[in-house]
Amino acid sequence: MSATVERVGGVKHADLNFASGTLLIEYDLAADPRAAVVKAVESTGHGLVPLDQPAESEDIPARSFLDRYRAEIAAIGGVLFAALGAALELADAPSRLSILAFAISILFGGLLVWRRALVSLRARRLDMNVLMSVAVFGAAAIGEWGEAATVFFLFSLGGLLEARSLERTRRSIRDLMDLTPPTARIVRGGQTIEVQLDEVTIGETVIVRPGERVPLDAVVSEGSSALDEAPITGESVPVDKQVGDALFAGSLNTTGLLRAVVSSTAADSTLARIVFMVEEAQASRAPSQRLVDRFSAYYTPIVVVLAALIAVIPPLVGIAFGLPTGGFVEWVQRALVMLVVACPCALVISTPVSIVSAITRASRDGVLVKGGTFLETAARVRAVAFDKTGTLTVGKPRVAQVLALDGTTPEALLGIAAVLEAHSVHPIARAVVTAAGDSVPSGSVQDFTDVPGHGVRGVYGGTSWMLGSPAVAEGEGFLTPEAAKAVASQEESGRTALVLVGDAEARAVIGVADMIRDEAPAAVGKLGRLGVEHTIMLTGDNERTAEAVASAVGVNSFLARLLPAGKTDAIRVLKERYGAVAMVGDGVNDAPALAASDIGIAMGAAGSDTALETADVALMRDDLTALPGFIALGGRTVNIIWQNVIFSIAVKFVVLALAVVGVATLWMAVFADTGVSLLVILNGMRLLRRKNT
């Protein structure tokens, strides 16, 4: 079909993903060939609706009854007349009557096949439709009318069942898109009105009543409620929302009345981005799929040539040398069976249907996977590296103690530290600002710099200040014995120490504590049971704090006082030692390490543009619960892919061997293609089911 579409004027490139039911085209905007593409696709017996246009759009020609229900007509008509022909044969009716019934069955059963075969021939391609048509006409030509009709009936029925099975995997994404209501109730001009979503602008106030779904991403400005965010984050328990909390489009308001300020348009909502990225991931090709595609490109023409040789050479050899090899009719029958077996439909569909099902399952569990490649890589992961702050810990640290070193009050020094950290987005910076509260002095910081892993610097009140880790303070000669003693006391208590330096003198040590995530120990334990050989925590924190957290969580090892470059180096060492490595972080501060790993996994990605765009895999919830499930899903996906591939190839070669020796029949060949296709689809769809880890 891609070749057919690429011949349409204005189309530059077309890529069909059969499993996800999407056709991606690159075209000239000035030409806008979408309507012509729809016609070209429908000429092959398929339907097509542009994703950005409703099905009833005037730009899209209406499909006739025959176009819409051709598959059903082919299957029903084919079976009725095939059954009639078989009944006439059993009743010893005149052969011409049974032949007529079988011919009508072939006519109905071939409604789709012939049309698609002609399109393939025009494109100079040998596909299943061409091979099936040749086989059926060949069977009829040698007088096997009943078998010819049975082949078309089984092929049409199998195709119908395949389409219905695949529709189930595709429906989940459409259902996700339908979660957003078509209109929003907004406050405009002092009145509450309902408008279409595309008419709402950022900054307007939307009203969400109990039992309604949130129409757009927004921030609560009035009211409180519990919202079901399962479609976005996979969280089954409703999440309490209050003033200042973010709402995701598509989430269900369960209890209270909410007023919220719109923060994104309908096209840019978190749900819309998830839908787009899932569709994009489903359209991507995994390594195993590319391998199968390359194999299929050689397999089909080889079998077709072999079938032609089987039909001609043995009877000619028999005639030439007087050997009892059998006549042309017998060998043509064997060749026709081989033609039907020649198309690798089951093999081609075996991988993409598994990938689509797995990506859909992951999205339901609150895990956004950017492509089948990462599912296959997840099955090979033998080491997982974790960031500490915000990953293994809650990421909302609090200031536990301020030790003044220069006689100034702790409150005043904390206020200066807050002035410096006010420009930083790091969780520890937020903790310092929050702890200072009303103690933050007025004025601004000049020459401010924020270097990841080194801290913040700036000039305030005529004094040059630096707030950073003890390692940075020691490296620059600012860590006095008194300051070192204060740092040690904080680290012995399991706290992160920050050193406040003013005019090259240590002025204070600030101890910051962070809570370990409740689910972290269980998640790390499950990874070990899933075959992950090594878990490690990478942190810029001190050894004492890192050791305390690592011990509580249960990781195998830890590396402390790492700058971003050090984390990247650690990932490279892990890859050399263990092979495939996954890195779990926040998607922003750990960007280099995430990029260096085989799979970069960002936590709490819902609502985070950066995490959604940069991570290979995004855990939409702000917890680690879904991580072991994703690793397990990768293993299940690879297992099912190989089950499908091996089963498809094995059945093909068995039937090919039986065809050569004259045992296989045409209906057996149809089963080896269409029947096996249906079986591998159903096997791949098992990934849609949730499985406990």
Q: Any idea what DSSP says for residue 439?
A: G
Token pair 């099905």 is found at 55
The token pair at 460 is 């305030």
Q: How far is 475 from 558, CA to CA, in rounded Å?
A: 22
Q: How far is 218 from 262, CA to CA, in rounded Å?
A: 4
Q: Name the catalytic one among 217, 228, 387, 598.
A: 387
Amino acid type, 23: L
Amino acid type, 390: G
Beta strands per DSSP E along 308-442: 367-369, 381-387, 398-404
CB atoms within 10 A of CB 621: 21
CA angle at 137 for the pair 131 and 143, rounded to the nearest 5°: 135
Q: How far is 205 from 340, CA to CA, in rounded Å?
A: 62
CB atoms within 10 A of CB 73: 17
Q: Count Cβ atoms within 10 A of the Cβ of residue 525 and give its class: 0-12 exposed, 13-18 middle, 19 or more buried.
A: middle
Q: Any idea what DSSP says for residue 494?
A: T
The DSSP line for 631-683 is HHHHHHHHHHHHHHHHHHHHHHHHHHHHHHTT---HHHHHIIIIIHHHHHHHH
Instruction: Note if 387 is an active site residue.
Output: yes
Q: Which whole-number Å values give the CA distances from 668 to 241, 489, 672, in the listed order?
A: 60, 78, 6
Measured in degrees and rounded to the nearest 5, phi and psi for residue 302 equal -65, -45
Q: By C-alpha distance, which of 179, 182, 190, 259 is closest to 218?
A: 259
Q: By C-alpha distance, which of 461, 363, 480, 350 is closest to 413?
A: 461
Q: Per residue, what are the HEC states of 270-305?
A: HHHHHHHHHHHHHHCCCHHHHHHHHHHHHHHHHHHH
Contact 73, 108 (CB under 8 A): yes
Q: How far is 598 from 505, CA to CA, in rounded Å?
A: 43
The token pair at 235 is 């969280």
Q: How far is 49 from 68, CA to CA, in rounded Å?
A: 13
Contact 413, 494 (CB under 8 A): no
Q: From the centroid of its chain, how far is CA 296? A: 25
Question: What distance, in Å, lies between the first and last C-alpha atoms of the chain?
Answer: 40
CB atoms within 10 A of CB 673: 27
- Per DSSP bridges, beta strands 534-538 and 557-559 are parallel
Please, which residues have CB within 8 angstroms of residue 379's CB and are 6 or more apart in sequence? Answer: 634, 635, 637, 638, 639
Token pair 């996800």 is found at 20
Catalytic residue numbers read: 387
